[in-house]
Amino acid sequence: MFQLSDRLWFPPVEHASEEGLLAFGGGLATERLLLAYRSGIFPWYEAGQPILWWSPDPRMVLFLEEFKISKSFRKRLRENSFRCSMNTDFQGVITACAAIPRKGQQGTWITSEIKEAYLRLHHEGHAVSVEVWDDDVLVGGLYGIDLPEYKIFCGESMFSKVSDASKIALHFLVQILREKQYQFIDCQVYTKHLASLGAREIARTDFLAFLK
């Protein structure tokens, strides 16, 4: 594993461990974060740890045409009981993502340092949020990094305060990305929930080919 300095650089992802851990340290400056995402790398660590940089193999992605809509969710969409927006309340979304309890996790990886860094990315037009509203109450959403030059959206986290709210946010995002002819949403690592929505694993070499 490599220790990063102030120099804006990452080692080749082929040097990552079997689990995908590549490097640590280096800070969360906007330029470093953008270089990471454009190189197939992302930060993921908990409070009290150094900044850890990952590039797992295989990589979990959701090709937009493979997004699964179950019969029950299709019915939920027809009810049209929620309102969706984009980039209306990025801070509210990332704060809610950090606060939502998650099965098997003691705390959150969305530390105050991460929040500050991604808020900067948002203000500079690189980080995007989707909000789901019940009247004027934020009940669900997601955020991630937009790479329009590669037609890829890198999903970071999502949350629901009511049933299906995060899926509604994802459905809204998929529709927008399809209109813009994006390739897929990077979901980073496997989870059963993501697989149920149509995401699947691809080889890291294939993932990197999309970034070229």
pLDDT tens profile 87-145: 999 999 999 999 987 665 555 789 999 999 999 999 999 999 999 999 999 999 999 99
Q: Is the pLDDT of residue 205 over 60?
A: yes
Q: What is the pTM of this model?
A: 0.95
CATH of range 59-210; options 3.10.28.10, 3.40.630.70, 1.10.10.10, 3.30.420.40: 3.40.630.70
Q: Which long-range contacts (CB under 8 A, 24 or more apart) does 96-104 make?
A: 96/138, 96/141, 96/159, 96/161, 97/141, 97/142, 97/143, 97/156, 97/157, 97/158, 97/159, 98/157, 99/159, 100/159, 100/160, 100/161
- Domain map (residue ranges) of the chain: 2-54, 59-210
For residue 101, what pLDDT is reported?
Answer: 72
Going by C-alpha positions, the residue among 188, 195, 167, 181 that lies closest to residue 41 is 188
Q: How high is the pLDDT of residue 100?
A: 86
- CA-nearest of 88, 90, 18, 63 to 177 is 63
Number of Cβ atoms within 10 Å of the Cβ of 65: 9
**Tokens coding 194:** 């993501």
Q: What was the pLDDT predicted at 212?
A: 87
pLDDT recorded at residue 104: 54
Check for a shared fold between 2-54 and 59-210.
no
Mean pLDDT, the chain, integer: 95
Average pLDDT over residues 166-192: 98
CB 93 within 8 A of CB 138: yes
Per-residue pLDDT at 108: 73
Q: What is the pLDDT, as a whole number, of residue 102?
A: 61
Give the mean pLDDT of 183-212.
97
pLDDT at position 8: 97
CATH code of the region 2-54 = 3.30.70.3550
The pLDDT value given to residue 98: 95
pLDDT digits (tens, 9 = 90+) for 4-63: 999 999 999 999 999 999 999 999 999 999 999 999 999 999 999 999 999 999 999 999
